[in-house]
Amino acid sequence: MRNPLLEPFDLAPFSKLKTAHFKPAFEAALDKARVEIDTITSNPEPPNFENTIAALDYAGYELERIASIFFNLNSAETNSEIQNLAQEISPMLAAFANDITLNEALFKRVQRVYETTDNTGLSEEEHMLLTKKYRNFQRNGALLSDSAKEELRAIDKSLSKLKLTFGEHVLAETQKFKLHLTDPADLSGLPESAREGARSLAEAEGLEGWLFTLDYPSYLPFMKYSTRRELRKKMAIAFGSRAFHKDTLDNREVLKEIASLRFQRARLLGYANHAEFVLEERMAKTPQAVQVFLQDLPEKALPAARREMEELKDYALNTDGVTTFEKWDSSFYSEKLKKETFDLEESELKPYFELNSVLEGMFRIAGDLFGLHFEKDPSIETYHEEVIGFRVRDVADNFTAIFYADFHPRPGKRAGAWMTSYKPQFRREGKNERPHISIVCNFTRPTQNTPSLLTFNEVTTLFHEFGHALHGMLADSTYPSLSGTSVYWDFVELPSQMMENWCYEPEALALFAKHYQTGEVIPEKLVERIRASANFLEGIATVRQLSFGMLDMAWHSGDPAAVSDVKAFETEAFGETRLLPEHPQTCMSTSFSHIFQGGYSAGYYSYKWAEVLDADAFSYFREKGIFNREVADKFKEYILSKGGTEDPMDLYIKFRGRKPDPQALLERAGLADTKS
């Protein structure tokens, strides 16, 4: 059987792929990568930057390409066959990663280059690569004893499988729950778009009536608009109890084992805990710095959050006689109060945010800022008929990137939104290899009667993920491991959160916020209300985000071995940030995929950390003009194109002319003058 993954390809050959192709492709690519490593270690020439450090960074390129295709499919278009294979492949890749970092001969060559190279002869990027390669060996067991190395291998093998299991459980739980309604009275309060979507979901499953799921485009409108409080409760409990049912999909023991193994791994490597290990390679540097950050902001936000929550409770009591305000009331009464306060509701905005129009406007903004042009190309193979492929060119018509966009929920696709890569940017042998970037979202589907109309939150999510995509597409580095989004995790959110700012600017909204039926640009009065409402309940939102960071740090800044009750541990971690009653049926940790499956362990704080950067960075655009090319060129040069080639704070200072000012975030959030 011919294997398209073992033949030369640039674009991922989705149309030719079968699941059976992956395992032999991985095996062959692993063999080739091992030969490439052996070639480095057996080189009779004295080790130097080119024959050791650079060669190591380019080694295993084919393996990386195959892995990117496979694991991206496992996130966006999975099935039981792919999931079973992932459980088999992941330990193989973990073992290979250990084979590299625990290879004594290879480490000696890297160490020799690190200790003898005159750094004055290296570029900043080369110096960064050398430092990172050496630290990667040092931080991942190269100095351990033989017995400790074997222990590390066992831990990494277990972690690779457990993280997959955690994600599989969350996906299965999300897709298992369905709220099937047949009485029209149960749709009370829901806008027509939500009803249509539910009708379409029911029809797709051969059911009469309406179907609601835990996918965000279905779940969030129900929680915001349904007047049926008992049904909101049913949805909220189902969402909050995912993988928390004492059955085969329960994640409590899975996450405890993940956290414990991370702790054991960190201690084995000489660190106090997993957070200390992770944060050594972050802008924050230490768990103490993160804890200070997570404690300082609540001092500003908690008084506002408590006032806002009391306002919501009073509103619910006075409006509907709600005496005990619960989690399933928050979105509903927030939306009602927002409409009353600003004469603005989400359903009023949605007709102005038709997906294709927003997409075109977003591309226009990227063109005005960074000189990019996006052209849809049907010849680009995709993994699903709904995925759109684009060729991206710069202002001089040079090919810049391939861009994939996947917008709607479906079976086999995990919840949320993310950016990923199918091919990194790098230079080799005089050629600048350009990246293949993808964003994956779960936005409102079109129905029989309407196109895909986005909520304003979905609009900002799209711009957020597009910011990550720009970071990947505009990469301009030499070495793949330093390219694009390969930066410190608390810096990677800067481009994404930065792009959200344009969603609130009248000059930008005029490019894409157009009524899908009339073509009318969104009225100025609605724009004013969007801007006026931008900080609505910002105290609650800030405390909520900070509480997630606190939970993350609680799991990863100590020894979790003593945790017997996941729910009790979580409740204690949330501490005074808890603004609503807890319920024994729900638990966030069991579905907290960011930290237990994704790459945000000991790093969830980075969302708020990056908000400090993005608020300060956008204030620069505000000073000069939101489409000012001089500022945009600097942002492109120092933030979007440099990747991880320099220290992120140095890059930020080159862009901004100084360090970020946290006051910009407090002012934007309306918290600057909050008193306790």
Residues assigned a catalytic role: 465
Q: If DSSP codes are grouped into helix, strand and coil, which group holds residue 43?
A: coil
Q: CA 18 to CA 128: how far, in whole Å?
A: 39
Residue 549's alpha-carbon distances to 295, 504, 595, 600, in angstroms, are 11, 26, 10, 10
CB 451 within 8 A of CB 356: yes
Q: What sign does the dihedral 109-115-117-122 (CA atoms) show?
A: positive
For the chain, what is the total number of helices (H) and then of strands (E)? 27, 9
- Sorted by sequence, the CB contacts under 8 Å of residue 457 that are 6+ apart come out as 220, 346
Cβ atoms of residues 216 and 331 within 8 Å: no
Which pairs from 565-569 meet CB under 8 Å and 24+ separation? Answer: 566/252, 566/255, 566/256, 566/590, 567/244
Residue 6, CA distances (Å) to 2, 429, 626, 666 in order = 8, 22, 46, 53
DSSP 292-307: HHHHHHHHHHHHHHHH
- Cα 574 from Cα 554, distance rounded (Å): 9
Identify any residues that bridge with 180 across adjacent strands, giving them in sequence order. 211
Nearest CA among 569, 419, 525, 458 for reference residue 72:
419
Q: Which helix (H) or strand (E) holds 198?
A: helix 192-204
Residue 622: C-alpha distances to residues 18, 308, 631, 632, 641 (Å): 50, 29, 10, 12, 22
**Residue recorded with tokens 């237990």:** 596
Nearest to 104 by CA among 29, 31, 37: 37
CB 273 within 8 A of CB 263: yes
| C-alpha triplet 382, 511, 373: angle, nearest 5° | 45
User: Which residue type is seen at 97?
Assistant: A
In the block, tokens 């890297």 appear at 110
Residue 591 corresponds to which tokens in the numbers above? 């579905």
Nearest to 543 by CA among 298, 334, 333: 298
Other C-beta atoms lying within 10 Å of the C-beta of residue 562: 8
